[in-house]
A and B are shown apart, each in its own frame.
Chain A
Amino acid sequence: MIVFGIILLAAVLRFTSLDNLPPSLTWDEAAWGYNAYSLGINLRDEFGRFLPLTYLESFGDFKPPLYAYLSILPIKLFGLSPFATRFASAFFGVLTVVIAYFLTKQLFKTWDHVSSQVSSQVALLSAGILAISPWHILLSRAAFEANVATFFIVLGVLLFLKATSRGVVSSTPPRWNGFDTSVLCLSILSFVLSMYTFNSARVVVPLLLFGLIIGKRKELLKMKKQFLISILFGLFIFSPLFLFLQTPQAKLRFAEVNIFSDIEVVERVNMQIENDNNAWWSKIIHNRRLAYGVEYLRHYFDNLSPNFLFIKGDGNPKFSIQDVGQLYLFEIPFFIAGAFLLFRKKEGDWWIIPYWMLISIIPAATARETPHALRIESALPTFQILTAYGIHHLVSTISKIQIKYLIFYLYTFFLIFNFLYFTHNYFSHYSKEFSHEWQYGYKDAISYVRQVEDQYDRIYFTESLGRPYIYFLFYTQYDPVKFGEEVSATREVLGFVHIENFDKYYFAKDLQELPKQGKILFIDTPNKVPDGFKIEKTFHLLNGERALIAYTL
């Protein structure tokens, strides 16, 4: 009953006005939507690749493709709209809450009877906190493939634990068991699917699986056959991705964002060695590998900074509303208590939680932009489980104190206030404040273009807001086959795809450089509109500032 309530709450928080909150689509979302739309029509992506298995070229960022496949059905059902594009993320977000419940229950399940009550209480709390988590809600409400990858990881862990705990609980000697094999295979399948969904998962999942196998080695030794079959199955479905990962395209994106290409570090250690008059020992203590190691730690610790976790959240407003942290303030004492008590009590498979949390940050810390709520999302729901564990044990301690009800009510009040503070800021102010971050303005501008395009020979559209072509495809539901025939595109050195034109639409950073032939409608950002042009229409952000201006000669 409570579980059902929690699921309902999670769904309400994830689906309410999903179409216009976040207020508009990012280019990645538009790309997911349109690629899914395209796949749904002729099983080809926007550039005409048939059933892409390992990547979508998209803007040249080589997206792992699964999110597009998952969106085919919702887009068939609801039509090509923001809601349909975001549906998969929100839907799997709700499912993650459900799975988090069963996972926590499984984690703290031990042999004695008392603990089963404990584990279901902690499980309820974990699911409840995840349901209202600002971190998880925000990432579930936009087409972020990371959110789906998180679902697959959580499911993978749950199935893995289910499969490995059965052999131990049953007193009968372990023997060939088709059920165990299929559960273990499903777990591996789920893990591999997450790697087909999000880049970070490609590092996190192997590490996580490695830890799980080491931790459960005794159980796995009792089910050698099942284990072997699952591993072979996993390798089989992983192999296409593995082959792709060996290609230069796959490595490009990593090289672009990682910290180890930062030349400043080398310059600094060289200067410091010089300050030591090039002494041999100075070359040891100012070794550049060491300096990079410390840089890595700095980026790693960024993801654990209190300000990021509890006060302001990710600096990018797409991942945090800037008013609450990735976690709620009220969680602080429980989170800390939970962490210490987990090590103290060592209940069930407790060790998975810290291990999982810490390895989830490993890939994100190699990038320059840290902390990064999206890239470390695979750490969910470990934060929530720790908090839940802390709440459970602290509440049972406090019940011994006389003024327990006072403390209890005050704290509940604080908790509710935290929740209202978040939901109020998100549902009432967020759109208005941050519509710019969500590339607001494209939709209005494009629907205006659609109305008036018959009067013009060409439409010149600015690239200043980023990748306008995908919004044209998305909002006009452009026929993918026709797009494939008309498009003229160039591919840059770093692999980025640049669409110059299709149909009568032309895209450029500087519109004045394009040839002025025939009757042209220009659409540009306000600061780039030259004097002496006739302004036809202005498109505003939700806070009243101007986003785009349509003008003619």
Chain B
Amino acid sequence: MSKKYYILILVIILGVILRLYKIGEVPPSPDWDEVSLGYNAYSILQTGRDEYGEFLPIVLRSFDDYKPALYTYLIIPFIKILGLNVIAVRLPSVVFGVIAVITTYLLVNELFKRSNIALLTSFLVSISPWHIQFSRIAFESNVGLSLNLLVTLFFIKGLKNPKLLPISFILGALNLHMYQSNRVFTPLLLLVLSIIFKKEIWKNIKWYGISIFLAFILAIPLLFYILSNQNALLRAKGVSVFSDQTEFLKRNTNKLENDLKNNDYLGMVIDNRRFEYAKSIVSGYISHFNLNWLFISGDIARHHAPNMGLLYLIELPFIFIGIYGLLFGQYEKRTKLTVFAIFLLAPIPASITKDVPHAVRALNFLPTLQVFVALGIIQTFQFVSNIKYQPRFNRGQALNIKIKYLIFFMYISFFIFNILYYLNQYFVQYPIENSMDWQYGYKEAVSEVEKIEPMYEKIVVSNMPHLDQSYMFFLFYLKYPPNLYQTDAKNASGGFRENHIFGKFEFRPIEWNKEIRGRSVLYVGKSSDFLEDARNIKTIRFLNNETAIKIVEK
């Protein structure tokens, strides 16, 4: 085994450590999507049906998200072994996160034929704040990214060994069952790859046809589901830029009225609302190239460590150098095209949605950004190493060698500093500062409620923010028998303000003045739900000591 494999193994071990360390505690609590995935997996494992009684669903209704269900199935074996807990829910993502680190090495090596670029890139992925963030939580997007990497890898390998092509397409079709954004991204990726490598495809047209056929077969259930089910596209509609028409078009409507009044025909054409839609898509797309988003502040708290962006600030100069180097450097044209194609396709699914830029929906940016950084670092390294060969400096060669090492030393120090800063922000500051964003408190609340539950006839739990979808956290931590829940909650929908009832539990807004007095009912809510006459039984605090959940009697 050569040296590079030892390094690769070290990189993989590093990646594993960064993804497993304190996996149950950082982030400090599962969020609602994670508990939902977990409980639905538990439900399917026990009864073959999800929380709504759907038998082996290919689309998971969850909180009326109607999202691809594959991740839930990946959790099942882990629940079988570890029981229903947050670690079991997160482990599939960890595993695929490590797969992404390995695949990055293989893919970059395949594309550039240079193991130093590949090693550096996979190292950068293994320490990437962006990738660590989503490898440590049960977000389908992360598994989707790994699948896309495998799709690309097997596609390119398949050009030489056509028997591998079907694997690429099968994984691609599976990805449609993994994550919403990839229903747009993965087909585009395969299409663009097919165009870039059309010559080889033409030679292996038979295998290519078989691959497409197999992918199509796998996609059929999904197509059938979308065509037969009204709700299938609900989520897509809900998050798209077209959803909230009135506010979005208010200015536009005023302008059109103005044009009509003035008989301004040119104006009527220009103020057509379709142009506003087009502009908003372009706006969503280019918002992903905002340096503040990438390097300084990220988007919402669940998507990044506090005071950090998605990439290390120290990587900033190398990204530009790397892009420049890839554009003009001596690399194969199709390698260049592939990397830039992935880079430019990545923000497309997110750009038709409202919350842009979006670190989860645009996760497919990885690992192209790391490729740029790696190329940038290698080029800079070569440039700095060559300083001493410049004849102008030949008088002070010794001095220049020292300068060279000084530059290396300084830069490596900065890099290490940046990494240490990140590790502190993520593992120490993040849970404390953002435990509320992670819906912290249920674990403690449920274990307290479980203890005293026999003394009460009814337990009322608030479902208003920040306790939205509290019923799912109770199901998850109580490990409430899925068959019982399915019969109890037959008619509940997954909408955001839906009230749920199962067993002794009632999940609804608490209106303190109307609630009944007496010791038979236990109330669980946030502190603003209760007035002074509430008898406090237990207060659960966020990790920064603010009140999270209160358990009281009236």
Contacts and interface: CB of A to CB of B under 8 A. Distances in A.
Given A301-B295, A302-B292, A429 B286 contact: no
Contacts of B424: 276, 282, 285
B286 A332 contact: yes
Interface in A268-298: 268, 272, 275-276, 282, 285, 291, 294, 297-298
Nearest to B279: A311
B432 A344 contact: no
15 contacts: A268-B307, A275-B429, A276-B424, A285-B420, A285-B421, A291-B307, A297-B296, A297-B313, A305-B291, A306-B289, A307-B286, A311-B286, A312-B283, A344-B327, A424-B267
A307 B267 contact: no
Nearest to A307: B287
Nearest to A268: B307
A424 B266 CA distance: 8
Interface residues of A, number: 33
B267 A298 contact: no
A310 interface: yes
A433 B257 CA distance: 13
Interface residues of B, number: 38
Contact of A304 (B266, B271, B275, B291): B291
B428 interface: yes
B296 A428 contact: no
Nearest to B424: A285
Interface string B248-278: 0001001100110010101100110001000
Given A294-B307, A332-B286, A428-B259, A276 B428 contact: yes
B205 interface: no
Contact of A428 (B264, B291, B327): B264
B405 interface: no
Given A275-B432, A294-B307, A310-B286, A344 B255 contact: no
Centre residue among B287, B296, B297, B327 by max chain A CB count within 10 A = B296
Interface of A: 268, 272, 275-276, 282, 285, 291, 294, 297-298, 301-302, 304-307, 310-312, 329, 332, 340, 343-344, 417, 420-421, 424-425, 428-429, 432-433
A304 B289 CA distance: 10
Contacts of A304: 291
Contact of A298 (B254, B255, B270, B296): B296
Given A294-B296, A310-B286, A285 B417 contact: yes
Interface string B316-327: 000000011001
B296 A432 contact: no
B266 A433 contact: no
A276 B432 CA distance: 11
Contacts of B534: none
B292 A301 contact: yes
B6 interface: no
Interface of B is mostly: helix
Contacts of B300: none
B290 A305 contact: yes
Given A305-B290, A332-B286, 11 more contacts: A285-B417, A294-B296, A311-B279, A340-B328, A344-B327, A420-B270, A421-B275, A424-B267, A425-B255, A428-B267, A433-B251
Contacts of B410: none
Nearest to A269: B307
A301 B287 contact: no
Contacts of A417: 270
Contact of B282 (A311, A344, A420): A311
A428 to B, nearest CB: 6
A31 B262 CA distance: 35
A329 B267 contact: no
Interface of A is mostly: helix
Given A275-B428, A276-B424, A301 B270 contact: no
Nearest to A295: B296
Contact of A340 (B258, B271, B297, B327): B327
Interface string B389-433: 000000000000000000000000000010011001000110011
A298 B324 contact: no
B296 A306 contact: no
A344 B266 contact: no
A298 B297 contact: yes
Given A302-B292, A305-B290, A428 B258 contact: yes
Contacts of A291: 307
Contacts of A306: 286-287, 289-290
A329 B286 CA distance: 11
Nearest to A337: B327
Contacts of A275: 428-429, 432-433
Contacts of B279: 311, 329
A329 B290 contact: no
Contacts of B254: 433
A32 B429 CA distance: 51
A301 B296 CA distance: 9
A282 B425 CA distance: 10
Contacts of B291: 301, 304-305
Nearest to A322: B251
Given A285-B420, A429-B258, A294 B286 contact: no
A311 B283 contact: yes
Nearest to A312: B283
Contacts of A285: 417, 420-421, 424
A394 to B, nearest CB: 13
Contacts of B270: 417, 420-421, 424-425
Contacts of A421: 270, 275
Nearest to B252: A323
Contact of A343 (B258, B287, B324, B429): B324
Interface string B425-450: 00011001100000000000000000
Contacts of A282: 424
Contacts of B275: 421
Given A421-B270, A429-B258, A340 B290 contact: no
A306 to B, nearest CB: 4
A297 B286 CA distance: 20
Interface in B42-84: none
A368 B420 CA distance: 29
By Cβ-Cβ distance, the 3 closest A-B pairs, closest first, are A306-B286, A301-B291, A311-B283
Contacts of B295: 297, 301
A276 B289 CA distance: 33
